[in-house]
Chains A and B, each alone.
Chain A
Amino acid sequence: MLNRRNFVALGAGAIFTSTLGAKMTFASAATTKRFVFIIQRGAADGLGTIAPVGDPGFVSQRGALAEDFASAAKLDSMFALHPGMTTVAGLYQAKQALFVHAVASPYRDRSHFDGQNVLETGGTSAYALKDGWLNRLLSLLPREDKAIALAATVPMALRGPVEVASYAPSALPDATDDLLHRVASMYAGDPQLHGLWEQATATRMLTSDMAADNGRNAAATGDLAAKLLSAEGGARVAMIETGGWDTHAQQRARLGVQLRGLDGMIAALKAGLGPLWNDTMVLVATEFGRTVKVNGTGGTDHGTGSAAMLLGGAVNGGRVLADWPGLGDAALYEGRDLKPTMALDTLIASAVGSHFDLTGAQAAAKLFPNMQASRPIQDLVRA
Chain B
Amino acid sequence: MADASIALNRFGLGGRPGDDPGANPRQWLAAQLQRYEPRPQQIAVLPPTSQIAAELADYFEELRQARPQNPGRRQRGPARAKPAMPDSMQSVPGQEMSEKPMAGEAMKERERANDPAAQVRRFARRQAREHYAVAVGARATVALTSPAPFAERLVHFWANHFAVSADKLQVIGLAGAFEFEAIRPHVMGKFGDMLHAVERHPGMLLYLDQAQSIGPNSMTGQIAQRRRAGGNNLPGLNENLAREILELHTLGVRTGYGQSDVTEFARAMTGWTVAGLGRGRGARFAGTDGEPGRFVFAERLHEPGMRTILGKRWTQQGEGQAAAVLDMLATHPATARHIATKLARHFAGDEPPPALVAQLESAFLKSGGDLPTLYRVLIDAPECWAPQPVKFKSPWEWSISAMRALGAEQLQANAANGLLTQLGQPVWRPGSPAGWDDVAAAWAGPDAVMRRVEAAERMAQRTRDTIDARRRATQLFPGALSDTTAQAIARAESPGQGVALMLVAPEFMRR
Listed in ascending order, the chain A residues whose CB lies under 8 Å from chain B are 173-176, 178-180, 182-183, 185-190, 192-193, 196-197, 199-201, 203-204
Instruction: Chain A residues near B447: list those with CB within 8 A.
Output: 200, 203
Contact A197 B457 (CB under 8 A): no
Q: How far is the CB of A243 from the nearest CB of chain B, in Å? A: 14
CA distance in complex: A50, B506 (Å):
41
Contact A187 B506 (CB under 8 A): yes
CA distance in complex: A182, B493 (Å):
10
Q: Could you give 16 example pairs across A and B, Cβ below 8 Å?
A: A175-B450, A179-B457, A179-B497, A182-B488, A182-B501, A183-B504, A186-B485, A192-B440, A193-B506, A193-B509, A196-B445, A197-B446, A199-B446, A201-B450, A203-B447, A204-B450
Contact B454 A200 (CB under 8 A): no
Contact B484 A189 (CB under 8 A): yes
Q: How far is the CB of A200 from the nearest CB of chain B, in Å? A: 4
Instruction: Chain B residues near A175: list those with CB within 8 A.
Output: 450, 453-454, 456-457
A196-B444, A196-B449 known; A185+B457 contact, CB < 8 A: no
Contact A186 B449 (CB under 8 A): no
Instruction: Chain B residues near A199: list those with CB within 8 A.
Output: 446
CA distance in complex: A180, B445 (Å):
16
Chain B contact residues (Cβ within 8 angstroms of A): what range? 20 to 34
Instruction: Chain A residues near B454: list those with CB within 8 A.
Output: 173-175
Contact A185 B488 (CB under 8 A): yes
Instruction: Chain B residues near A197: list those with CB within 8 A.
Output: 446, 449
CA distance in complex: A197, B452 (Å):
11
B480-502 vs A, CB cutoff 8 Å, 1 = contact: the mask equals 00001100100111000100110
CA distance in complex: A186, B449 (Å):
13
Chain B residue nearest to A178 in the complex (CB) = B493
CA distance in complex: A203, B485 (Å):
25
Give the dominant DSSP class at A's interface.
Answer: helix
B366 at the interface (CB under 8 A from A): no
Chain A residue nearest to B506 in the complex (CB) = A190
Contact A193 B501 (CB under 8 A): no
Chain B residue nearest to A176 in the complex (CB) = B457
CA distance in complex: A190, B506 (Å):
8
B423 at the interface (CB under 8 A from A): no
Instruction: Chain B residues near A176: list those with CB within 8 A.
Output: 457
Contact A182 B497 (CB under 8 A): yes
A173-B454, A193-B506 known; A200+B446 contact, CB < 8 A: yes
Contact A196 B446 (CB under 8 A): yes
Contact A193 B450 (CB under 8 A): no
B108 at the interface (CB under 8 A from A): no
CA distance in complex: A305, B497 (Å):
34
CA distance in complex: A212, B497 (Å):
31
Instruction: Chain A residues near B491: list those with CB within 8 A.
Output: 182
Q: How far is the CB of B371 from the nearest CB of chain A, in Å? A: 32
Q: How far is the CB of B387 from the nearest CB of chain A, in Å? A: 16
Contact B457 A186 (CB under 8 A): no
Q: How far is the CB of A359 from the nearest CB of chain B, in Å? A: 33
Contact A200 B505 (CB under 8 A): no
CA distance in complex: A209, B454 (Å):
21
Contact B509 A183 (CB under 8 A): no
Q: How far is the CB of B457 from the nearest CB of chain A, in Å? A: 5
